[in-house]
C-alpha cells in the first residue's frame, strides 16, 4: 500500500461580531429582499478592532494543533494565504509560527492568490510531505477583506480563517489527488496601497468563478476517474450563497452534497478561508469512507481541486470545536459600529 | 513611554503564549517570569511555564476615557484575571458588553492586536481574554 498523506487536524476561527444585510441596505437605501435573494446571504461576520488576518490565523492554527494532538515543534512548514495580510512586508507566517510554538526550524511563507491562497498553502505542505522533507505541514487561509462602502461586495465581505495540518500519521482524511487550473483573467484585483478592491462587475461570474471552478472540478474528476455521484460531499469556493449552488448544479452535484459545507450564507464570504471553512464543516459531518471533492477559486484567476477520502480515524478524532459551534456565538452591531470596526471613518 | 523594539521582541513568548515561570521546588507560578523564586531563593529551580490561559475575572474596571491610540475601543474592560494556576495578571476583556461583566466570570485567552504604532508602524500582538461561551 502506498503511504497515505492527508489531514491530521483542522481548526477555524470566525469573529463573533455580525452585521445584517438589512442594516447595510438601510444605510444605502437599497431594497433588502433584492440583496438577500441576489446574494443568498442575510448577514456577515465583522472583525473586532483588534482582530486581523494574523490573529484569526493564529486562533485557527491553535485549534488545528489541539485537534491534531501533535507537538507543534513537529510542524515543519507553514504557508498562510490571504489578500489582507496585516503587513505588505513581514510575513504573517512568522507570527503564526511563533504563536503556535512551531518556530524556528520550518519552511514558512505567505501566499496571495485572492481567495485561494489558503488551498495553495495546503498544496505546498502536501508537496513537502510527499517529497519526505517534513513531518507535518500547515496550510492556512485567512482574511478580513473589505468591500468599498455601498458596493455589492460590502454585503458579503466577511472575516474568518481555516487551518489544516497535513501529515502521514493518524490521517483522518486522505488527500488522494490534487489538480489546479490557472489563467490570466482580470475579474478582480487590488493594487498596492488601495484599500478597496476593484472588480469587473458581471465579468467576475462566467469567465472568472464559473469557468475556473468548473475546470478545476472536472479536471480532478477526470484525473481520479470519478463522477459527481461518487462523492458524498462537495465544497466549492463560496463568494456568496448563490455561486456555489449554481456551479454545483451545472456540474451535476445535488443540493444535499454541498449542504454541510455551505457556510458563507451564515457568515459572509471569508475569501481565502471560504472553501477551507466549508471543508472543515463538511469533515465535521463526514463518515469513514466518504469521498469529498473540494474546489477553491481565486480571482486573477485559478482553482485548486482536491479529492479527499475520509478514514476510520475520524471516529476517534472528531473535532472538539466544530464549525457550527464556532459560528453560533454572535454579537450584532449596527452600521455605525461596523464603520468604526472597519475603520471606514476618516478623522 | 512606548517600549523599544528589543524589549518588545524579548517579551514575544510571554505576550503570545502566556509564558512565565514556575519554581519546581515549591510549585509557585510567576507571571511575568522571575529568575529567582521569592520563596525558595537559592534553593528554587525556575523553569519556563506556559499558562493554560483559562481563568476568571478577579476584578475589573470599564475604561470610558481612553489613553492615546485606544480611543476607538471605548468603552472597554480592563481586568485582573486570576489564572487557574493561581497567578493574577492584567488584561483586556474583549467580545463583551461591559455592562454584562461580573467578578468570577470564567474567561479564556485569545490572540489579539495589542497596539498599532500608526499606519506605517509595527503591530504588537499578544494575549487578551474573553468570556468563555
Ligand atoms: Zn520556590
Under 8 Å CB-to-CB from B22, ≥6 apart: which residues?
Answer: B28, B29, B30, B46, B47, B48, B49
pLDDT at A335: 93
Contact assignment for A55 to B95 by CB distance below 8 Å? no
Q: Say if residues A186 and A299 touch (Cβ distance below 8 Å).
A: no
The CA B80 to ligand 1 mean position distance, Å, reads 24
C-alpha cell at A314: 475520524
Model pTM above 0.90: yes
Task: State CA A162 to chain mean position distance.
Answer: 6
Confidence band (pLDDT; 50, 70, 90) for B101?
very high
CA-based nearest residue to A143, from A96, A81, A188, A50: A81
For residue B2, the model assigns a pLDDT of 63
A16, A55, A86: residue with CB nearest B95: A16
Residue A58 and residue B73: Cβ atoms within 8 Å?
no
pLDDT value for A347: 56
High-pLDDT (> 90) share of chain A, %: 84
Mutate: best of A62, A99, A140, partner B, most B CBs <10 A: A99
Catalytic annotation, pick one of A67, A199, A237, A341? A237
B18 in a structural domain: no
Would you say residue A202 has pLDDT above 90? no
Q: Is it true that the peptide bond before B100 is cis, omega within 30 degrees of 0?
A: no
Assess whether pLDDT exceeds 90 at residue A78: yes
Model confidence at A343: pLDDT above 80: no
Q: Does the residue B9 lie in any domain? A: no
C-alpha distance from A325 to closest chain B C-alpha (Å) = 10
Tell me, yes or no, if A3 is annotated catalytic. no
Mutual angle of helices A92-99 and A53-68, in 10-degree steps: 40
Contact B112 A87 (CB under 8 A): no
Are B113 and A62 a contacting pair at CB < 8 A?
Answer: no
C-alpha dist (Å) from residue A120 to A132, A165, A178: 19, 13, 11
Residue B114 included in any domain = yes
Peptide bond connecting B32 to the previous residue in cis, omega within 30 degrees of 0: yes
| B24 close to B45: Cβ distance less than 8 angstroms | yes
Q: What is the mean pLDDT of residues A227-234?
A: 98
- In the residue annotation, A98 being an active-site residue is answered as no
Q: Which residues of A touch B133 (CB under 8 A)?
A: 329
Looking at the predicted structure, is the pLDDT value of residue B28 above 90? yes
How far is A118 from B72, CA to CA, in rounded Å?
31
Q: What domains are defined for chain A?
A: 6-172+317-341 (3.40.47.10), 176-313 (3.40.47.10)
Q: Taking the CB of residue A254, how many other CB atoms lie within 10 A of it?
A: 12
Q: Are A144 and A51 in contact (CB under 8 A)?
A: yes
> Does B21 reside within a domain?
no
C-alpha A52/C-alpha A143 separation (Å) is 8
| Cα B18 to middle of ligand 1, angstroms | 20
- Residues of chain A with Cβ-Cβ distance to B94 below 8 Å are 48, 50
The reply to whether A309 belongs to the active site is no
| B93 in a structural domain | yes
Q: In this predicted structure, what is the pLDDT of residue A96?
A: 98
pLDDT score for A47: 96
Residue (of A299, A264, A255) closest to A162 by Cα position: A264
Give domain status of residue B111, yes or no: yes
Q: What is the mean pLDDT of residues A288-295?
A: 98
Q: Which of B97, B111, B123 sits opposite A99 (nearest CB)?
A: B111
Task: Name every residue in A having a CB less than 8 A away from some CB of B.
Answer: 16-17, 48-52, 54-55, 58-59, 62, 86-87, 95, 98-99, 101, 329, 331, 340, 343
Measured CA to CA, the distance from residue A32 to residue A43 in angstroms comes to 11
Q: Which of A83, A154, A199, A309 is catalytic?
A: A83
Instruction: Write out the three cell numbers for A6.
Output: 492527508
What percent of chain B stands above pLDDT 90?
A: 80
Position of cell 476510520? A312
Please report residues of B whose CB lies closer than 8 A to that of A17. Answer: 95
Confidence of residue A133 (pLDDT cuts 50, 70, 90): very high
CATH of residue B88: 2.40.50
ipTM of the complex: 0.94
pLDDT at A282 over 90: yes
Instruction: Look up residue B29 and give its three cell numbers.
Output: 507560578
| Average pLDDT of the residues in B102-126 | 93
Across the range A174-180, mean pLDDT stands at 98
Task: Tell me, in angstroms, the distance from the centre of ligand 1 to residue B46's CA.
Answer: 8
Asked whether the beta carbons of residue A58 and residue B111 sit closer than 8 angstroms, the reply is yes
Q: What is the mean pLDDT of residues A146-171?
A: 92
The x, y and z cell numbers of residue A299, run together, are 480571482
**pLDDT tens-digit readout, B32-43:** 999 999 999 999
Q: Omega before A301 cis (within 30°)? A: yes
Average confidence (pLDDT) over B5-12 = 86
Q: Is residue B34 part of a domain?
A: no
The pLDDT, as a whole number, for residue B1 is 46
Nearest to B111 among A16, A55, A86 (CB): A55
| Residue B14 lies inside a defined structural domain of this protein | no
Asked whether the beta carbons of A268 and A45 are under 8 A apart, the reply is yes
List Cα–Cα distances, B53 to A12, A40, A76, A313, in angstroms: 19, 38, 25, 29
Q: How confident is the model at residue A3 (pLDDT cuts 50, 70, 90)?
A: confident
Nearest CA in chain A to B93: A50
E strands, B74-105, in order: 76-83, 88-93
Average pLDDT taken over every residue of chain A = 94
Domain coverage including residue B91 = 53-133
Give the count of domains, chain B.
1
Q: What is the distance in angstroms between the Cα of A321 and the nearest Cα belonging to chain B?
A: 12
* DSSP 3-state of B81: strand
On the question of pLDDT at A200 being above 50, the answer is yes
**CA–CA distance, A245 with A259 (Å, rounded to integer):** 9
A178 Cα: distance to centroid of ligand 1 (angstroms): 55
Amino acid at each position: 500500500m502506498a503511504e497515505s498523506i492527508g489531514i491530521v487536524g483542522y481548526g477555524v476561527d470566525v469573529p463573533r461580531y455580525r452585521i445584517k444585510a438589512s442594516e447595510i441596505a438601510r444605510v444605502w437605501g437599497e431594497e433588502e429582499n433584492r440583496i438577500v435573494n441576489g446574494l443568498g446571504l442575510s448577514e456577515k461576520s465583522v472583525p473586532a478592532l483588534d482582530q486581523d488576518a494574523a490573529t484569526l490565523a493564529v486562533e485557527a492554527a491553535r485549534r488545528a494543533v489541539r485537534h491534531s494532538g501533535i507537538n507543534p515543534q513537529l510542524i515543519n512548514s507553514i504557508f498562510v494565504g490571504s489578500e489582507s495580510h496585516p503587513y505588505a512586508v513581514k510575513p504573517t507566517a512568522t507570527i503564526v509560527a511563533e504563536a503556535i510554538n512551531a518556530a524556528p526550524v520550518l519552511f514558512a511563507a505567505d501566499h496571495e492568490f485572492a481567495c485561494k491562497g489558503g488551498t495553495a498553502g495546503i498544496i505546498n505542505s502536501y508537496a513537502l510531505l510527499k517529497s519526505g522533507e517534513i513531518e507535518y505541514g500547515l496550510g492556512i487561509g485567512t482574511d478580513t477583506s473589505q468591500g468599498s462602502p455601498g458596493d455589492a461586495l460590502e454585503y458579503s465581505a466577511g472575516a474568518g480563517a481555516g487551518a489544516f495540518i497535513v501529515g502521514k500519521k493518524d490521517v483522518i482524511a486522505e488527500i488522494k489527488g490534487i489538480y489546479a487550473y490557472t489563467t490570466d483573467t482580470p475579474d478582480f484585483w487590488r493594487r498596492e496601497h488601495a484599500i478597496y478592491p476593484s472588480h469587473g462587475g458581471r465579468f467576475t461570474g462566467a469567465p472568472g468563478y464559473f469557468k475556473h471552478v468548473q475546470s478545476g472540478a472536472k479536471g480532478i474528476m477526470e484525473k481520479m476517474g470519478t463522477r459527481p455521484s461518487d462523492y458524498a460531499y462537495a465544497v466549492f469556493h463560496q463568494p456568496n450563497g448563490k455561486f456555489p449552488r449554481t456551479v454545483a448544479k451545472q456540474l451535476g452535484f445535488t443540493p444535499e452534497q454541498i449542504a454541510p459545507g455551505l457556510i458563507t450564507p451564515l457568515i459572509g464570504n471569508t475569501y481565502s478561508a471560504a472553501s477551507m471553512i466549508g471543508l472543515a464543516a463538511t469533515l465535521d459531518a463526514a463518515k469513514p469512507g466518504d469521498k469529498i471533492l473540494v474546489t477553491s477559486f481565486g480571482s486573477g484567476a485559478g482553482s485548486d481541486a482536491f479529492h479527499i477520502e475520509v478514514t476510520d480515524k475520524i471516529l476517534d478524532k472528531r473535532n472538539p470545536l466544530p464549525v457550527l459551534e464556532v459560528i453560533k456565538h454572535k454579537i450584532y452591531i449596527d452600521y455605525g459600529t461596523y464603520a468604526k470596526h472597519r475603520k471606514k471613518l476618516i478623522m | 513611554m512606548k517600549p523599544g523594539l528589543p524589549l518588545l521582541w524579548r517579551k514575544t513568548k510571554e505576550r503570545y503564549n502566556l509564558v512565565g515561570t514556575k519554581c519546581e521546588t515549591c510549585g509557585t507560578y510567576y507571571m511575568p517570569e522571575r529568575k529567582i523564586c521569592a520563596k525558595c531563593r537559592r534553593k528554587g529551580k525556575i523553569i519556563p511555564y506556559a499558562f493554560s490561559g483559562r481563568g476568571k475575572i478577579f476584578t475589573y474596571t470599564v475604561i470610558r476615557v481612553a489613553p492615546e491610540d485606544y480611543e476607538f475601543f471605548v468603552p472597554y474592560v480592563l481586568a485582573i484575571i486570576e489564572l487557574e494556576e493561581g497567578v493574577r495578571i492584567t488584561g483586556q476583556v474583549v467580545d463583551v458588553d461591559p455592562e454584562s461583566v461580573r467578578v468570577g466570570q470564567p474567561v479564556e485567552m485569545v490572540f489579539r492586536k495589542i497596539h498599532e504604532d500608526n499606519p506605517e508602524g509595527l503591530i504588537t500582538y499578544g494575549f487578551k481574554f474573553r468570556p468563555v461561551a
